[in-house]
Structures are given as structure tokens and as C-alpha cells.
Structure 1
């Protein structure tokens, strides 16, 4: 009998879980600190770009500035403030994540993300069981594969 008629090759999500260790906590905090520093740099660059744009508009306009120039300057300031708000929101999310990392207990399992993998299913097998697969990792080393492989 032809194998193609009795089975299918499908793709499934695989949950990646990590066992919290001191090393994992340190790595997570370093990653989050680097992301926070990057946001701080981006905010600083944004502020400088906004100031340069405003200074250029003021340099090119007559004194005292007319309503069009004032409107241009206001628009630039509004755009800068909106972008800064977005940056601050992301920074706050990272700070909250850092706090969560500090509070999580050692040897606790937490979901780290998802991957995809292929599996073969045949007539008569339980699809739900085949879809529920997890990989548990400690310091990068697979400790356990859970579910119907």
C-alpha cells in the first residue's frame, strides 16, 4: 500500500521551556539591560535630530518667526514627543521584565518561546496528542522532550 495514502507530514508548534538557573537569570538581565541601553541611545539620537531640525528651520526663517515656521517647529516637537513616548513605553516593558526575572525562582520552568517542527501522522492516531510537544532546556541543554514525538 502507498505510504502517501495512510500518513501525512505536518508542521506543529513546539513550546520551548527553560528551567531557571542563576546563569539564565544573569543572561536574561544582561539582554534586557542591553535593550534598555539601546532605547536610551535611540531617545538621545531622536532628541538631537529634533533639535537640529528645529535649529535649521529657525536658521532659515526670518526673525521673528511667522506662523508657518512656528507650526513646523510645533509639528517636529509633537513627532519627537510621540516617538519618545513609544520608546519610554518599550523601556518600561523591559524594566518590568527585568523585575519579573529577578522574582522568578530557581529551578522553575518558564515558557521561553516557540519553535516549529514536522511530524508524521497516520490514520487512527490522536492529532491533539501529536500537537502537544514541549522541549525543556537547562542552560542550553535539552533535559526533556514531552509529548508524542
Structure 2
């Protein structure tokens, strides 16, 4: 299982954070599980009014994340799934999405929760989607990581000048 060794995150005092979730539309069943897990995590953290946006596919996640990060959100969560096919398309999309989301986070200082599944098969994606019978809930995990990071960042005081 890929989640082996993951830290147990305790996240508190998050109800006042502005959090947005961006979700791709490809692979409806997998995405339904990821979105449900993300929204459940936000509710568990006391974030009652998150923004939820849908974009066509995973490749569109970075540009949406950049816009939301520049509009005052404390954390953005990107959810998508790319399943390997018979062409190099998988490699290009996965690399572009991963680098794009990382660049948005570094450029803006806004944590981006990475909930993009990059799987060889649909079965692997379903196993990570937080559905009944899934072994992992990557939508929930992506929210928890982004919000935990937002809390760490807001705890850092400005340096003396």
C-alpha cells in the first residue's frame, strides 16, 4: 500500500481558513470519491464553506490553483486522476501537473494539497479514492496536508528588520 509510513497529522484551529478544492472531471467514479473525501475532511476541520471548482481535466489544475492562490485562499487542494495508457501522454500530463502545482505553491506561498492520482490502472485509482472498500482516501489526505501546512505557515511570525 502506498500510504505506508504516512504521518498522523493533528490539525486544529482551522475553521477560519479559506480553502478551495479544484477537481478534474475525468474518471467520474474516482473523482466522486476524492471530492467526497476532501469535503468530509474540510467538515471535520470545521471549514464549513469551502469553494469547490470543477475543471475539465488534471492538466487544467495548475492554472486554476494559481488564480485561487492569488485571490486570498489560505490553502488550495487539487484533485485529479491520470491513468496510464498506451502512449506517452500519461508521462507528459503527470509531469506537467506535478511541476505546475509545485510551482504555484512555491511562487505564491500558498499550500497546494496534492490529490492527483497517477496510476497504472483504474483499479489502483479506485483503491485510493476513498470509496467503500478503498484502502486509502487521498482526497481526505490532500486536504489534511494542505490545511496542516497552512496552519504551520500562519504560525511563523514576521522576522525583525
User: After TM superposition, is the score higher than 0.5?
Assistant: no
TM-score normalised by L of structure 2: 0.23
Higher relative contact order (CA 8 A, sep 6+): 1
Q: Which structure has more strand as a fraction of its residues?
A: 1
Highest Rg: 1 or 2?
1
Q: Which structure has more helix as a fraction of its residues?
A: 1
